[in-house]
Amino acid sequence: MQASTNLLEFDLDGLAAFCERLGEKRFRATQLFRWIHQRGASDFAQMSDLAKSLRGKLASCAHVSALPVITQNISQDGTIKWLFDVGAGDAVEAVFIPEDDRGTLCISSQAGCAVGCRFCSTGHQGFSRNLTTGEIVAQLWFAEHFLRRHLGTEERVISNVVMMGMGEPLQNYTQLVPALRTMLDDHGYGLSRRRVTVSTSGVVPMMDRLGADCAVALAVSLHAPNDALRDKLVPLNRKYPLDELMSACQRYLAHAPRDFITFEYCMLDGVNDQPEHARELIALIERYRTDGVWCKLNLIPFNPFPASGLLRSKPQQVTAFAKLLSDAGLVTTVRKTRGDDIDAACGQLAGDVKDRTRVVQRIALQRTVPLQPAVAPHEA
Ligand code: SAH
Ligand code: SF4
């Protein structure tokens, strides 16, 4: 018997090739793609403008399936966190962050991560596996259509997607790119390139490929102003040191949908948050400036977890650091933490991917607890 294919695995070109194998023209694939991504349909019988014969064919060899939801938590501030089951004891998370003028979904690209950053709980858990395109897209498909039903709207709810959940997206490049294309496609989610952000710890060759293949907004996790410190915090720096990384950022600017790159800098008490680090960071950025503003700094207060042995910088330290950068002319923001009450902040995502027993126990425990009352995110 032919295995059934999850159609979330395909961008529009992939779906067209699939339809062609069924003897169908490309415009049928476009119709199907719109039903799936724009209308959230999964039942072929519902797709009234497709010929009955095609609906029958699809039902026999394809399906449209979300990932099973293990838990859903809604924060007081309207942030929603989903934990999805990706099989074999692995789980990944997506977080929806509502703001006045936009709705951002933060999604995962891998179960675990092989980069192993010192301050990241995903990194501490190690690498389990790459997500498939369908598993990456399923997070958006589910969240968007869940939110529309939840809010009783047919309007788009998610306006921005950030690849800042679990995993290093540029170490899962082959599966990532069709997922990004589905997000950008006018027949899919129609998101602008400026509103889809890939965050990377600095996989230099793949930054160049992304610029050429699918230039979306780029965030680079810098975290340190010199190689000695960055080697310790982000071990990938030993392979792609700062000089190579900063040069790759400059090359990316030629393709970027915005005229700047965002540098993320996680503020760690006494480790990278001193005035001398700020001065070194300013000098580093200055060295690679060609003209005008070419980057923005986003300071992220560290979200502590016990195994890290690290502490969050004190608020006055963050403010002082931000002031030094701003005074030097660098556009600097400090990230607000959201969803604190449901552990939805960066680096706190889906614990225990390796510790399968605990995931299973937690699932059993949480399934007995009813979902929290629905809060309309935009009202929160
Ligand atoms: N692997 C990619 C994307 C996922 S991590 C990357 O590293 O860029 C998304 C962001 O969360 C990164 O900037 C990362 O450095 C940051 N982050 C990870 N753990 C964190 C923690 N405990 N506290 C604050 N930010 C963290
Ligand atoms: Fe991986 Fe990003 Fe975490 Fe580093 S910060 S371990 S690259 S997910």
Q: How far is the CA of 2 from the centre of ligand 1 (A)?
A: 41
Share of the chain above pLDDT 90, in %: 85
Task: Specify burial of residue 340 (Cβ count, 10 A radius: 0-12, 13-18, 19+).
Answer: middle
Mean pLDDT of 347-365: 41
Residue 360: pLDDT over 60: no
Cβ-contact 340, 75 below 8 angstroms: yes
Which of 166-170, 304-308, 341-345 reaches the highest mean pLDDT?
Answer: 166-170
Q: How far is the CA of 222 from the centre of ligand 1 (A)?
A: 10
Domains within the chain, CATH numbers bracketed: 5-63 (1.10.150.530), 69-367 (3.20.20.70)
Task: Specify burial of residue 43 (Cβ count, 10 A radius: 0-12, 13-18, 19+).
Answer: exposed
Spacing of C-alpha 363 from chain mean position: 23
105, 162, 221, 343, best to mutate for ligand 1 pocket (most atoms within 8 Å of CB): 221
Cβ-contact 161, 191 below 8 angstroms: yes
Residues in the chain, overall count = 380
CA nearest neighbour of 130 among 148, 118, 114: 114
| Cα distance between residue 99 and residue 97, in whole Å | 7
| Cα distance between residue 66 and residue 41, in whole Å | 11
Report the chain's mean pLDDT, rounded to a whole number. Answer: 90
What is the 8-class DSSP label of residue 268? Answer: B
Its pTM stands at 0.92
Mean pLDDT of 79-101: 96
Cα four-point dihedral sign 256, 257, 259, 263: negative
Residues 110-125: tens digit of each pLDDT = 999 999 999 999 999 9
Question: How many angstroms separate the Cα of 96 from the Cα of each of 149, 290, 374?
Answer: 15, 36, 14
Residue 343: pLDDT over 80: no
Residues 45-55: tens digit of each pLDDT = 999 999 999 99
Cβ-contact 207, 170 below 8 angstroms: yes
**Confidence band of 149 (pLDDT split at 50, 70, 90):** very high
Residue 109: pLDDT over 70: yes
- Whether 117 sits among the annotated catalytic residues: the reply is no
Residue 379: pLDDT over 50: no
Residues with CB under 6 A from ligand 1: 119-120, 164, 168, 199-201, 221, 264, 266, 300, 302-303, 346-347
Q: Which residue has the higher pLDDT, 28 or 2?
A: 28
In single-letter form, the type of residue at position 284 comes to: L
Strand stretches in 223-328, DSSP E: 261-267, 295-301
From the CB of 115, is ligand 2 less than 6 Å away? yes
Q: Whose CA is nearest to atom 14 of ligand 1?
A: 221
336: its two tokens? 């607000």
The catalytically annotated residue of 93, 144, 168, 264 is 93
Residues 287-324: tens digit of each pLDDT = 998 766 699 999 999 999 999 999 999 999 999 999 99
